[in-house]
Structure 1
Amino acid sequence: MRPLPFRVDAPGKLYVAGEYAVVTPGQPAILIAVDRYVSVTVTEAAPVDGPPTAELLAHEHGVAATEHNSCGADYALAAWLVMDALRAERGIKRIPADLHFSSTLRSDTGEKYGLGSSGAATMAVISAFNELYDLGLTVIEKIQLGMLASIEISPKSSGGDLAAGALGGWVYYQSPDRDNLARVLTDRASVTEALTGPAWLPMRARRIPTPADVQVLIGWTGSPATTDHLVSQATNNGDGLNWGDAFLRPSAANVNALLEALADEKFPTIHAGIRTARTLLARMARGTGTLVETPALTSLIETAEAFDGVSAKTSGAGGGDCGIVLAEPWVDPAAIHATWRQHGIEPLALSVTQLGVGVKE
């Protein structure tokens, strides 16, 4: 057991390529972890009044949820329940501890930037319990446990945010067969047993080398997107799209080509990969009636690509939120940022963090 109090930080994420396709088991995506965080401070339990909040998940809240087999719609509480079940299966006595949350994944007015706050909160809780009970979890086990919690709230969640938060840096990810994973909360399946089985075989999660000369610029349109709604719409309205031939296979080929280009820092191929990813997302959006690239995001992309040495696209579910730019080392970020501001787009002061979730020493 780590002495109380202690703090765990989990970074946010952005998709570079492969979003939407990645919800299909085994389909690849590339993400980055960014230096904005959900932080969880673990303290000795104290009496509380009222339900869980965005700032506090008390020991009493978790115990009550366990007794009533309810997790509501809160990712942090779902993670608490999964980890408490794992603790019980390992025969470890429950330690009364409260979890205090803070986040830099929102704007000053409280709006989400689209940096994966739910996944970061999930990963922070899992890592906090790993430290609290000295569970010795591997990075992959943390991602798996995060997935077991997340699918109870959002069955279509790919888990890419969990992988980026767990690993840090640039991340290659493929999702498991979520439809066939055990439901450890609703069905009371064993957490220990749920960590194994064929449903995990399509999953891959690994760090990839950081391209040293690639600049990553992020713009925010100020329009928070509802990821679950957009992904559900795209996957449920796919009758107008040949998913395999028109989207999934070309997306996988493009991600793998981009992976090689990033490793070799071949900028023409990098730019081609980013633009192909944008084209494929537009094709998917037309075929499913999903709003991915809003007018504000189109403005973000086109104003950036007016500069030489730049490629840009939406990042994540679209429908608002962020756009991402990959720029060559000689490009002046300040010029792009100034143009964005003229169009009402906020440049975000973000960098790729090499640190995955862990204790803040």
Structure 2
Amino acid sequence: MRATPFAVAGPGKLYVAGEYAVVTPGQPAILIAVDRYMTVTVTDAEPAATPAPTADLLAHDHCVAAVQTHEFGTDYALAAWLVMDKLRAERGLERRPVDFHFSSTLRSEAGEKYGLGSSGAATMAVITAVNELYGLGLTAIERIKLGILASIEISPRASGGDLAAGALGGWVYYQAPDREKLPRVLTDDGSVTQALTGPAWIPLRARRIPTPEDVQVLIGWTGSPAQTDDLVTQATTNGNGFDWEDAFLRPSAANVTSLLLALAEAKFALIHSGIRTARTLLARMAEHTATLVETPALTDLIETAQGFAGASAKTSGAGGGDCGIVLAEPWVNAVDIYTAWSAHGIHPLQLSVTQLGAGLKE
């Protein structure tokens, strides 16, 4: 067990390719972990000043009340704590009274979300903090699974890609499990230990991939937050007559596989082709499902960046606002792209890929 106080930081994420397809079990995606963080500081418990968790505090009092009432609402951090508390109890460990204090660099100074997966970062930070608190010795894959068990209680369609990027850091290959067949360990009061195994996890894959050499990753933010759950629901429930499997899932999987090889070998012509194919596939899916993935601002971001030789761009994540991502060759002057973006009202985000997954903050 770890003495308090201590702090854990969980990074944000961005999708490189495979969005929307990844919500289907076993469909691949590529993500990066970025150096913006959700930090959780664990301290000895004090009486909570408010009756409910806030963006800054998840107190021991809040947690105990949630255990007693089985109520966690839409608070991902609280759901993560509840899953971890059940695991603690199943391992016969006495509950320690601690508070969780949150701070984040995943939002703008005005409090607007950048679209970097703050819910997933908070979930993974809490799970990692409890793992450290009790010395549970959980592997990265186990922490990803626990994060998924917590997240699906609030957002059943959530793929878990943000959790994988947050747990592993760096460049990440991910495939989701069959979330519909996973037990609901909070609402149905099942065993967390038992829920970590079973056939529903068979499609799950989460692993680091080699960091591509010389690839510049540039991020632009449109200043318009996206509603990820709403967009994913729209895309996956609309589209009468759209051949989801052959027109989107199969070509997306093939493109991710090709992009993996291109990134590993720094073959820029193939990298650019993969990014542009991913954009084309997303546009096809969006058109047939009436889903707003690429807003005019995101189109402007992408077309502006692709006006520079040696750069390819697409939306990152659910679209509908938030971020666009550019992969550029090493000789491309990033400042030129940033300047062009700024002239169009697009905010360059000074982000880098972080090799560090969620862990202790020294």
> Deviations for 1:224-250, whole angstroms, at most 9, x for unmatched residues?
000000001101113241100000000
Does the CA-based 8 Å contact 1:17-1:30 persist in structure 2?
A: yes
2:7 corresponds to which residue?
Answer: 7
Distance, in Å, in 2 between the alignment partners of 1:235 and 1:318 is 14
User: Does 1:228 find its partner at 2:229?
Assistant: yes
> Deviations for 1:262-287, whole angstroms, at most 9, x for unmatched residues?
00000000000000000000000001
- Secondary structure of the residue that 1:111 maps to in structure 2? coil
1:152 corresponds to which residue?
Answer: 153
Moved over 4 A (4+): none
Distance, in Å, in 1 between the alignment partners of 2:308 and 2:132 is 47
Distance, in Å, in 1 between the alignment partners of 2:270 and 2:336 is 24
> Deviations for 1:59-105, whole angstroms, at most 9, x for unmatched residues?
01000000111111100000010000000000000000000000000
> Deviations for 1:112-148, whole angstroms, at most 9, x for unmatched residues?
0000000000000000000000000000000000000
1:298 corresponds to which residue?
Answer: 299
1:117 corresponds to which residue?
Answer: 118
> Deviations for 1:16-40, whole angstroms, at most 9, x for unmatched residues?
0000000000000000000000000
Opposite residue 165 of structure 1, the aligned amino acid is G
Distance, in Å, in 1 between the alignment partners of 2:60 and 2:132 is 16
1:20 corresponds to which residue?
Answer: 20
Once the two structures are overlaid, the 10-residue window that deviates more, 24-33 or 64-73, is 64-73
2:94 corresponds to which residue?
Answer: 93
2:74 corresponds to which residue?
Answer: 73
Distance, in Å, in 2 between the alignment partners of 1:238 and 1:181 is 26
Deviation, structure 1 residue 212: 1.6
TM-score by length of 1: 1.00
2:274 corresponds to which residue?
Answer: 273
Distance, in Å, in 2 between the alignment partners of 1:7 and 1:311 is 38
Count of residue pairs the alignment pairs up: 361
Deviation, structure 1 residue 49: 2.4
Opposite residue 229 of structure 1, the aligned amino acid is D
1:178-197 residue pairs with structure 2 within 5 A? 178-197=179-198
Unaligned runs of 5+ in 2: none
Does the CA-based 8 Å contact 1:155-1:178 persist in structure 2?
A: yes
Deviation, structure 1 residue 220: 0.1
- Secondary structure of the residue that 1:299 maps to in structure 2? helix
User: Does 1:320 find its partner at 2:290?
Assistant: no
User: Does 1:40 find its partner at 2:40?
Assistant: yes
- Secondary structure of the residue that 2:187 maps to in structure 1? coil
2:361 corresponds to which residue?
Answer: 360
Opposite residue 283 of structure 1, the aligned amino acid is R
Unaligned runs of 5+ in 1: none
TM-score by length of 2: 0.99
> Deviations for 1:300-330, whole angstroms, at most 9, x for unmatched residues?
0000000000000000000000000000000
- Secondary structure of the residue that 2:11 maps to in structure 1? strand
Opposite residue 95 of structure 2, the aligned amino acid is R
2:215 corresponds to which residue?
Answer: 214
Distance, in Å, in 2 between the alignment partners of 1:97 and 1:260 is 46
Distance, in Å, in 2 between the alignment partners of 1:241 and 1:86 is 42
Deviation, structure 1 residue 219: 0.1
> Deviations for 1:164-199, whole angstroms, at most 9, x for unmatched residues?
000000000000000000100000010000000000
Distance, in Å, in 1 between the alignment partners of 2:231 and 2:92 is 41
RMSD: 0.5
Distance, in Å, in 2 between the alignment partners of 1:360 and 1:113 is 22
Opposite residue 259 of structure 1, the aligned amino acid is L
Q: Percent identity?
A: 76
User: Does 1:262 find its partner at 2:263?
Assistant: yes
Distance, in Å, in 1 between the alignment partners of 2:172 and 2:239 is 28
Distance, in Å, in 1 between the alignment partners of 2:55 and 2:132 is 22
User: Does 1:29 find its partner at 2:29?
Assistant: yes
